[in-house]
Every structure is written in C-alpha cells, then in structure tokens.
Amino acid sequence: MNELKPRILIVEDEKIIGLDIKKTIERIGYEVVNIVKSGEAAIDLTGELKPDLVLMDIMLSGGISGIEAAEAIRRKFDIPVIYITGLTDEETFHKAKITEPFGYLVKPFDQKGLHSAIEMGLYKHKIESLLKLKTLELEEEKKKTDKLLLNILPAAIVRELKKNGSIAPRLFEAITIMFCNFHDFSGLIQKHEPVKVVGQLNEIYHKFDVFVENAGLEKMKTIGDTYMIGGGLPKESDDHALKIIEVAFKMLEYMNKLNLKQLPEWKLRIGVNSGQVVAGIVGTHKFTYDVWGDTVNIASRMENSCEPGKINITRNTYDLVKDVYDCEYRGKLNAKGMGEIDMFFVNGLK
C-alpha cells in the first residue's frame, strides 16, 4: 500500500512563481491541492481542503498579509505554515516569528532548501501535535486525580496538600460532629439478602452525601453502617451546629419515606456533640482526613445512647441550637473517663 503524499496549499500572489513552486514540490513527491493569491482565499481553502502544510508568501493580494493569514490558519485549523518571501528586513522577520511559523524561506530558494523546510515543518508539527495530545491526556488524568482526592478529602485540604505536599494538624476550637448508625444492622443482614441490604445502604449513603454537600458540611468517613460528618471544619463557621441538626432531620425524613416503600425497615440513630477537636491527615498512601478528641468520642456515645428515629445531642450542642430547635432533656449519660453528660432529644423546629 502506497503511503499518502503530504498535501500542500501554496499561497503566492505571483502566478509564475506559484506555478514554479508547484512544479518543484511535485518533483519532490508532494501533492499540491491548490494555488491562491490572497490571504482570505488561503484561510477559506485551508478550512475546506485541510492540507498538511501551507506555503505562505508574506506580501499577498487582498486585504490581509500572509502573516495575518498564517495566524488565522494556525488558530482556527492548527495546520503548519512555512513562510516563503523576498522580505528580509528585521521588522518583517520579527512579525513573522511571533506567529510561530514552522519555517522561513527567503526567495530565491532551491529545491533542496524547500524540501528540507517542508520535511522539517511536517515533522515539527507532528511532534507538537503528539505533545498536545499527551498534554491533554495528562490534564485528563490530573482532573481524575483531583476528583478522586475531592471524594476523599475536603477541598481546602486538597488545595493545601497540593501546595505544600503535607497537612499540618490543626486545632479547631468550635465544631460539631455527628454520627449516625443503623440500629440492628447485623439483624438486617441475617434476615434479608446481604447483597441487597448493602446495595440499599450504598443508595442511602449516596443520598446522605447530597444532603451533606448541599449544606456545606464535610463527610468525614463511613465505617460499615456508621456515617460520620463534621461542621465548622476545615472551613470555620458559626452555624455548624444548626447545619448539622438540619441535615440530621433531612436524613430521618428520607429514611421514613424510604421505609414506607420497601423492606427491610431501616432504623436510624443520630448522635451529635460540639466542641474542640484536632484535625489532620493520616496515612501516606491512602489519605484520610480525620479528627481526634473527646468531642468525637462523646458524639459517638450520643449515637450509641440514642433511640431509633431520634437525634440525641449533648448540652454543648443544645446551647448552640436551643433558640431554633425544640429540645427535650432526657437525663445524664455516665461516660467512663468523661463524667456525666447531659443529653437532649431534638424534637423539631420551634
């Protein structure tokens, strides 16, 4: 099978010179797709014929110069241009250089010089096209990596990690942590088809993720049937507790609607606490943004001490939401190493 000849468009306002260049190019072994005299015609025919290369005189008939036509061709069609000109002044050369030509031939030129310029122009364009393709592929991979990181870590943490290469642990004085868990999840697995139950759990978590993202909160992690979120970190805010309770009610409402439609019946418990934590990155290969401190432990205890379908909060959180939400005192929890902790059910908006 014969290799296709490179196709070349000649742009030359002198007919005799254009025909002479055509004969030379055809002797070398290229195909001439056309000869035109103006920059406007060069742009139109380049778009129509899609040649592999354009030989462009700088002084042309018509309203635009060869340099202007070459700039338009490179911008619109990404086709290499070689200048063929009798102009050798520094100003013309400088203007031509700005358009990044793939060659610059000064008239009169011989067959060997023309052949070398065309081959080099085609080769440079091929390499440039490959580099552009690789750059696009790298950019796509970078987007995928960034998206994956954003699925694992908060956006602010990703930015800091990319900028500094590491994340320093940070103390947050006032945040809110929420744990939610499904009562008797192991019983659901035993009574119903495990694959179906885990599939439903995945759908539930997907919906929870939407609630959390829309509220501007941070999903910290999931551990089996336990779902953990935080408010007021890594971006600090004054309404972190209110947003957490708002999302908690959306979760309960969603679960109630879900239970009306299908089996098994999911019984959600929610525990919330507010206070001080230390947050940072753990791991070197599989990053996790995590939080530590009694605030986290107590939030987990609030969930463990909650009743299905309820939101159980500490006094710390109660003090932050009591003006907006109706709360019911339910006694104290004797937490080992932490003393007695007041607990409240959140019944709804006042």
- 183 and 40 together in one domain: no
- 28 and 116 together in one domain: yes
- 217 and 345 together in one domain: yes
- 127 and 171 together in one domain: no
- 201 and 77 together in one domain: no
Measure the CA–CA gap between 137 and 131, rounded to whole angstroms: 10
Residue with tokens 């309203």: 63
CA distances from 210 to 1, 76, 303 (A): 57, 41, 21
Q: Is residue 140 part of a domain?
A: no
Please identify, among 89, 112, 133, the residue that sits at the C-terminal boundary of a domain. 133
CA atoms 270, 271, 277, 278: torsion sign:
negative
Predicted TM-score (pTM) of the model is 0.61
Q: Is residue 150 part of a domain?
A: no
Do 234 and 157 contact (CB within 8 A), yes or no? yes
How many degrees, rounded to 5, is the angle at CA 308 between CA 304 and CA 309? 125
CA distances from 183 to 52, 108, 247, 260, 307 (A): 68, 89, 19, 17, 9
- 169 and 121 together in one domain: no
- 171 and 119 together in one domain: no
- 187 and 331 together in one domain: yes
Do 198 and 181 contact (CB within 8 A), yes or no? no
Measure the CA–CA gap between 113 and 84, rounded to whole angstroms: 11
Would you write out the chain's pLDDT as a tens digit for each of its 350 residues? 446 789 999 999 899 999 999 999 999 999 999 999 999 999 999 999 999 999 999 888 888 988 899 999 988 998 999 988 877 667 766 666 666 667 777 888 888 888 988 888 888 888 888 988 898 888 888 788 777 766 666 677 777 777 766 667 789 999 999 999 998 887 777 777 788 888 888 999 999 999 999 999 988 888 888 999 999 988 889 999 999 999 999 999 999 998 887 667 889 999 999 999 998 876 666 667 788 899 999 999 999 999 999 999 999 999 999 999 999 999 998 877 778 899 999 999 98
- Residue 262 tokens, joined: 């299908």
Q: Is residue 147 part of a domain?
A: no
- 252 and 208 together in one domain: yes
Other beta carbons less than 10 A from residue 68's beta carbon: 18
Kindly tell me the number of DSSP H helices and DSSP E strands found in the chain: 11, 13
- 340 and 235 together in one domain: yes
- Residue 213 tokens, joined: 């993202």
Range of the domain at 274: 164-349
Work out how many domains the chain is built from and give that number: 2
Please identify, among 91, 118, 133, the residue that sits at the C-terminal boundary of a domain. 133
Q: Is residue 114 part of a domain?
A: yes
Encoded amino acid at 267, one letter: K
CATH number of the domain bearing residue 316: 3.30.70.1230
